[in-house]
Structure 1
Amino acid sequence: MDCIQQTAHNISGTDNGHCRLRLVDFEVHENHISHETQGLSKKHLVVRRGKPFKLTLRFRGRSWNPHSEGLVLEVWLGSLSERIPVQFSDKWPTTQHWSAKIHPGSVHSESVTIHICSPVQSSVALYNLRLHIETRQNIRSFAMGSFVLLCNPWLKDDPVYMPHEAQLQEYVKSDYGLVFMGTNQNVCQRPWSFGQYEPGVQEACLTLLEVSPQHLSDESKDNILRADPVYLSRVVCAMVNCNDDLGILHGKWQGGYQGGVNPTEWSGSADILRRWVASNFSPVRYGQCWVFASVLCTVMRVLGIPSRVVTVFNAGHDTNASRTIEEFYSTTGEKLHLSKDSLWNFHVWVECWMRRPDLSAGFDGWQVVDPTPQEKSAGIFCCGPCPVAAVQQRCLSAPYDTSFIFASVDADVIRFIVRNGVVVGRMVDSELVGQVICTKRIGSDTPENLTPAYKRKKSKRGSCGSSSPGLTSSGLEVSLNIKGKPSFGDSIGMSVKVTNNSSEPRILMEHVDAQIKEYNSSPQGSFWKIHKEVHIFPYEALTLQHTIPASEYESVLAADEFVNIAVVIKDVRTKERVLDSQEFNISSPQISIEIEGGDSIQINKEHTVQVSFTNEFTKTLTGAVLTVEGSGLLKGKHETRLAQLKQGEKMENTVSIMASSPGTKVLMATFSHSNRVVSRSFHKVSIIEA
């Protein structure tokens, strides 16, 4: 829609014989181009603070007389208002107030164009506008309609100003992103459609502010504070989860997902936001970290705050503020669920770009904002904004939640070996947590390494295989290495290197244990283990080889699950024990997704998609299901089923897609057999105007 016009309503009684406002032309096409807001709304004019926009007023009755009739605009936000006398001028006053002007020579017999500018520190909101035509005898008032005001990262004086155009295109205007998952040795990526140009998304983001606890408890105070991106980010962060409020997403990490959507099945924010509004603000079920973060990124980009989704591989969840993560293993290498702390294979949060006037200048720039409900911050489930620079510089008292974020990327992992409730071995790993931190690179689908921005190089305070002080140590070391990047259907190869740094020969017991786990929780029971006696000479280093056949894990491992393998080496004589462990993901078999005519499709035009899966497993698969879905492209799920899919056979699913709105959308295909998902693939689709 190129033009939004609002019929003016007289709200001041009779005006017979006077100049009357008939129509307001919001000059949407020109304003949206000027303000970089094209496509955000078809209902409202959307402009950015601190930058002039223009309206054309059309009159009826007699013409407006600029010599005897003054024009005064009045902008309303809730119960707050400000009068804006309209001046004849070519210059903007340097003021912290709203201003409006008419360029000399732009007044016509039945219309006038007014240029309006908000203060750069205006609140983000939907505003109402009135016009007063004032003479010495009377005032005639007209309701003009409403407009949306956003942050302005293009404007130097705005606290969210971002200097480079490529960054603005990526972190504000782009409706497409990548979420990195898996492990740092085998990074997986999935596209995400932020969807800020889809119908209803901007309105949902503004509604989120209106139903926040801060707004509901003190509307005027909240309306004033919304000028501050630090405040905005905390409000939005808390509202993305539903733990304290009418928030968007209900998190679930264990058990089934009946009554909702499995978090792995989401591929965009628009569907989630529209469901939340349509349900009268009941939480959408279900979310996990990458879903929470991606929705937060959408809201912040809509509000005009540059944002990006960031993944931390091996993220610590420190529950007791000790900045250490404790893990417990049995003497045979089985990981035990005995600690409230946890180490997530990956965790996803958001970085938002803003100045921090509440802190010193060195803390401006990227700020961590994490909406996944883990720990409370000032009594509510939100986290941040925490300056990335404060994490790197270890300024742990800097607001907000810097100590918790620091532990997420830089805590030590202490691994205990326990026997009958007694610690019989202790290892410290100071390198594992926050091993890689990355985001989508500007203009590319490759990861950008952010680790140096969070972490300085530190001296190694301990390593896997080192014994703790106080426990007898005669120089026994162990290290575990997984060979290559395991793929579904392949055997898992590993090597265990045992080093005897003593002058005595040793008789050792080797215990290796493999367990299935989800990315953020403790492992399930063991699915494979081995015990072996090993003889080692003085100062010898032995390398022991082991293989787990594919048949051992294929029946227990699902897509998106991980494997924990641990080795415990015990000296039979001294009872000394040392441990090492590795957690890794297994690459899923690929699903082919091909769009007829290429990956750019025209709006409102039907296109055929061919989806196929070839059984590369070593066996026939029963109950095979190939599913295709895509928000904004397909309605519902489209399934193809086969009772049996033999080794080497291909199954196909052909669907027709059509998009009604421009932007970037995501197709997702899922293959399962025997009610277990073993592969999930994603495909980016660019929608272009006809």
Structure 2
Amino acid sequence: MSRSDLPAGFGGWQVIDATPQETSCGLYCCGPASLVAIRNGMVYLKYDAPFIFAEVNSDKVYWQRQPDGSFQKVLVQKKAVGHKISTKAVGSDEREDITESYKFSEGTDEERIAVETACRHGSRPDTYADQWTSSDVEVTVHTDDGIVMGSDFTVTVGVANVSSECRSLTLFSQAAVMYYTGVAKGTFKRDKCDVLLEPREEKEVKLVFRNDDYLEFLVDQAAMMFTVSGRVKETGQAIVNQHSFRLRTPDLRITPVGDAVVGKAMKVEIMLTNPLPKSLKSVVLRIEGPGLQNPRKVNIGDVPRHATITVTENLVPSKPGPRKLIASLDSQQLTQVHGVVEVMVRES
């Protein structure tokens, strides 16, 4: 769109957030902000550019409160925000990556200049004024991809001594569940361990979580946040790292049976596996697909622990061409369970 309210060169593509979580000038809205301004860190150009920039290209800076009330910078993660910014590809269901439209390549001079420009117009303009150096003990945190809800899993904490002297530290870890907004609901497990590192040595600490450690605490999208912190005894350096991840829920597997022809009945099979060590109560299946099926609710009842069930439904296509059939599951014990299949419908 044209932006006559901004300097020349800031028209064209604009950024909006259609699901704002807070008000802007008294209204629940976000944007429009110039894409050119966002890419270059010009957060002083309206509207809501600071908020949008933080969504796509901010650094995560960890601070520790000192005994005198001041804050000390203990970790800067420069590549934590703005991965795989995506849109739906034209003419297909493929993912089109548009990260380069919002930010320069991670780690380039242009990208660093954009971040520091934005920071100078933020609430902590002196964040990059001092030359912060990392600790000589580095900590990483990771989990395996695709952890299924209801399973046991392991969090791996890597500790590396990059100095030429021995280092010892005490690591404190805590695991918390959080809402999809990133707000923590509460901590469900804490651990503590001592680590001794020889010069240039690396070690891994593995923390095992059983399903009964976390199942009763999960909320909405089954997101978790794992935080590890500590202090190097020899140097007094504070270390910290954080890892957020989601537990995966099973997909509904939808299989068309036979040919799809306008006006003729066909069957579809919908398969569900309960990954939890407890029964799903009063399960409801919802099915719909424009040109295939009007919204329909199917009462399934209870699904036993670790059971797999298959539901067969009849439908009569009303329109030809590629059609999508969508199914979703309603259950208090298991959320965010969906399935979709494309059905090619022929003329009768």
For 1:561 and 1:678, how far apart are their aligned partners in 2?
Answer: 9
Specify whether residues 444 and 585 from structure 1 end up closer, same or farther in structure 2 by C-alpha distance, changes over 3 A only: same
Structure 2 residue corresponding to 1:517, chosen from 155, 178, 184:
178
Cα deviation for residue 498 of structure 1 reads 1.7
Which amino acid is 1:650 matched to?
T
Cα deviation for residue 499 of structure 1 reads 2.4
Paired residue for 1:366?
13
Please tell me the root mean square deviation across aligned C-alpha atoms, in Å.
3.6
**Is residue 492 of structure 1 aligned with residue 150 of structure 2?**
no
Paired residue for 1:447?
95
Cα deviation for residue 381 of structure 1 reads 2.8
Residues 147 and 153 of structure 2 are in contact (CA less than 8 Å); yes or no, is this contact kept in structure 1? Answer: yes
Structure 1 residue corresponding to 2:285, chosen from 614, 622, 627:
627
Specify whether residues 360 and 444 from structure 1 end up closer, same or farther in structure 2 by C-alpha distance, changes over 3 A only: farther
Cα deviation for residue 503 of structure 1 reads 4.5
Cα deviation for residue 473 of structure 1 reads 7.8
Paired residue for 2:83?
435
Cα deviation for residue 443 of structure 1 reads 2.6
Structure 2 residue corresponding to 1:680, chosen from 330, 337, 340:
337
For 1:681 and 1:391, how far apart are their aligned partners in 2?
Answer: 34
Specify whether residues 682 and 558 from structure 1 end up closer, same or farther in structure 2 by C-alpha distance, changes over 3 A only: farther
Deviations 1:558-617 (A, max 9, x none): 56221111111222455432111111112212322223336x663x65443322213455
**Is residue 655 of structure 1 aligned with residue 313 of structure 2?**
yes
Paired residue for 2:301?
641
Give 5+ residue unaligned stretches, structure 2. Answer: 117-128
Which amino acid is 1:385 matched to?
P
For 1:630 and 1:676, how far apart are their aligned partners in 2?
Answer: 23
Which amino acid is 2:298 matched to?
H
Which amino acid is 2:340 matched to?
H
Cα deviation for residue 635 of structure 1 reads 4.0
Cα deviation for residue 661 of structure 1 reads 6.8
Deviations 1:287-332 (A, max 9, x none): xxxxxxxxxxxxxxxxxxxxxxxxxxxxxxxxxxxxxxxxxxxxxx
Paired residue for 1:570?
231
For 1:421 and 1:482, how far apart are their aligned partners in 2?
Answer: 36
For 2:144 and 2:192, how far apart are their aligned partners in 1?
Answer: 20
Specify whether residues 665 and 592 from structure 1 end up closer, same or farther in structure 2 by C-alpha distance, changes over 3 A only: closer
Residues 620 and 645 of structure 1 are in contact (CA less than 8 Å); yes or no, is this contact kept in structure 2? Answer: yes
For 1:524 and 1:670, how far apart are their aligned partners in 2?
Answer: 24
TM-score normalised to the size of structure 1? Answer: 0.42
For 2:66 and 2:8, how far apart are their aligned partners in 1?
Answer: 52
For 1:679 and 1:397, how far apart are their aligned partners in 2?
Answer: 38
Give 5+ residue unaligned stretches, structure 1. Answer: 1-353, 463-467
Structure 2 residue corresponding to 1:533, chosen from 194, 212, 220:
194
Deviations 1:111-148 (A, max 9, x none): xxxxxxxxxxxxxxxxxxxxxxxxxxxxxxxxxxxxxx
Task: Give the aligned length.
Answer: 325
Q: Relative contact order (C-alpha < 8 Å, sep 6+): which is higher?
A: 2
Residues 519 and 562 of structure 1 are in contact (CA less than 8 Å); yes or no, is this contact kept in structure 2? Answer: yes
Deviations 1:469-504 (A, max 9, x none): 699986232111223332234432332222234444
Deviations 1:193-220 (A, max 9, x none): xxxxxxxxxxxxxxxxxxxxxxxxxxxx
Paired residue for 1:613?
272
**Is residue 505 of structure 1 aligned with residue 162 of structure 2?**
no
Specify whether residues 470 and 444 from structure 1 end up closer, same or farther in structure 2 by C-alpha distance, changes over 3 A only: closer
For 1:683 and 1:449, how far apart are their aligned partners in 2?
Answer: 22
Structure 1 residue corresponding to 2:49, chosen from 373, 384, 402:
402
For 1:473 and 1:563, how far apart are their aligned partners in 2?
Answer: 26
Residues 512 and 565 of structure 1 are in contact (CA less than 8 Å); yes or no, is this contact kept in structure 2? Answer: yes
Q: What SS does the corresponding residue of 1:391 show, helix, strand or coil? A: helix
Aligned runs of 1:9-88 on 2, under 5 Å?
A: none
Residues 513 and 565 of structure 1 are in contact (CA less than 8 Å); yes or no, is this contact kept in structure 2? Answer: yes
Cα deviation for residue 360 of structure 1 reads 6.9
For 1:558 and 1:375, how far apart are their aligned partners in 2?
Answer: 21
Q: What SS does the corresponding residue of 2:185 show, helix, strand or coil? A: coil
Structure whose residues are more often helix by fraction: 1
Specify whether residues 438 and 531 from structure 1 end up closer, same or farther in structure 2 by C-alpha distance, changes over 3 A only: same
Paired residue for 1:478?
139
Which amino acid is 1:670 matched to?
L
For 1:395 and 1:570, how far apart are their aligned partners in 2?
Answer: 37
For 1:569 and 1:485, how far apart are their aligned partners in 2?
Answer: 28
Cα deviation for residue 399 of structure 1 reads 4.3
Aligned runs of 1:543-582 on 2, under 5 Å?
A: 543-557=204-218, 560-572=221-233, 574-582=235-243
Residues 251 and 339 of structure 2 are in contact (CA less than 8 Å); yes or no, is this contact kept in structure 1? Answer: no
Structure 2 residue corresponding to 1:393, chosen from 17, 31, 40:
40
Residues 253 and 339 of structure 2 are in contact (CA less than 8 Å); yes or no, is this contact kept in structure 1? Answer: no
Deviations 1:1-37 (A, max 9, x none): xxxxxxxxxxxxxxxxxxxxxxxxxxxxxxxxxxxxx
For 1:684 and 1:424, how far apart are their aligned partners in 2?
Answer: 52
Q: What SS does the corresponding residue of 2:184 show, helix, strand or coil? A: coil
Q: What SS does the corresponding residue of 1:524 show, helix, strand or coil? A: strand
For 2:267 and 2:196, how far apart are their aligned partners in 1?
Answer: 63
Larger Rg: 1
Q: What SS does the corresponding residue of 1:407 show, helix, strand or coil? A: helix
For 1:657 and 1:366, how far apart are their aligned partners in 2?
Answer: 42
Which amino acid is 1:623 matched to?
K
Residues 254 and 340 of structure 2 are in contact (CA less than 8 Å); yes or no, is this contact kept in structure 1? Answer: yes
